[in-house]
Amino acid sequence: MSKQSFRTIPEGDFASAAFDEAPGVTPRTLLLIFSTPRSGSTFACDLVRRSGLCVPHEYFQPWDYRPALESRWGVAPGDDKAYANALAKHRTGPSGWLGINLHAHHIEGWEACRDHLPDTIDTVIELRIRRRDTYGQAVSYYVARQSGVWSSAYGQGKEVLYDAKAIAQGYGRLRQLEKKLDRYFAGRGGTVPTLYYEEFREKPEIMFETIGITPVSLSESHVRQQRDSSKQDFKAMFRRDMRIPRRVLRKLESWVHRTVL
């Protein structure tokens, strides 16, 4: 992949240089957040950032974030060892924590790099982020893909029109990604604590209890909730349009699995 092939990262995005840490801190604790798109994982990452531990992000998103970080950190494209070392160097927080937000489709890239992280890491904490409102997640996923606005850092995007078929395809893809995480955890023979966005959004202390810390205070939030009345309208319309037989939904999931995953 050429250095010019990735999308420009906005300054307020957690992948921007503004969130690079000063080199020199030895990583001791690795925080892995397993998730799917639009599940609330960015809000979880912001909570960790606000606590002062580190800045977790989608460092193994292969289309924009990893290429952009490789370019900025002077890493040759696809050099897993160099990228893992650079990630630890530039993203380990002052507390010695390194955090990574892993969507289900980032796992292959993560597995290629994980053994190259510094062996000073002696503690690994894992949690899984999910969203109970799966229709709302599918609508948010569709709107983000169409508008190009993946977080409040991206500013104003283009207008998005309702498309039941496209939202349904995204819904099927999200279901498949959750199943991919299920298979991944089952293959390792263990379980991962699961937190739901709707709960820790209202009570952030739930997440901190899960990862075993008690922050003294939280800095100002960097992530603004992307409230959009059209999303609520789309969700109501989609809920109406999704009143379809389960056999049709299974066919949709099968189609997504064959053509997208």
Per-residue pLDDT at 149:
74
Per-residue pLDDT at 164:
93
In-domain check, residue 53: yes
pTM given for the model: 0.87
In-domain check, residue 9: no
* The two three-digit tokens of residue 141, written as one number: 């996923």
Domain CATH number, residue 64: 3.40.50.300
Per-residue pLDDT at 216:
76
CA distance 219 to 123: 25
The domain tally of the chain equals 1
Per-residue pLDDT at 258:
67
CA distance 250 to 246: 6
In-domain check, residue 4: no
In-domain check, residue 2: no
The residues of the chain scoring below 70 in pLDDT are: 1-7, 150-157, 222, 224-229, 244-253, 255-261
Per-residue pLDDT at 93:
98
Residue owning tokens 């597995």: 111
In-domain check, residue 81: yes
* The two three-digit tokens of residue 200, written as one number: 């820790």
Burial of 178 (0-12, 13-18, 19+ CB in 10 A): middle
In-domain check, residue 202: yes
Residue owning tokens 């531990």: 53
In-domain check, residue 11: no
| Parent domain of 192 | 17-259
In-domain check, residue 6: no
* The two three-digit tokens of residue 117, written as one number: 């992280």
Per-residue pLDDT at 116:
99
Cα torsion angle, 175, 180, 186, 192, sign? negative
CA distance 30 to 51: 15
Per-residue pLDDT at 56:
98
Per-residue pLDDT at 1:
37
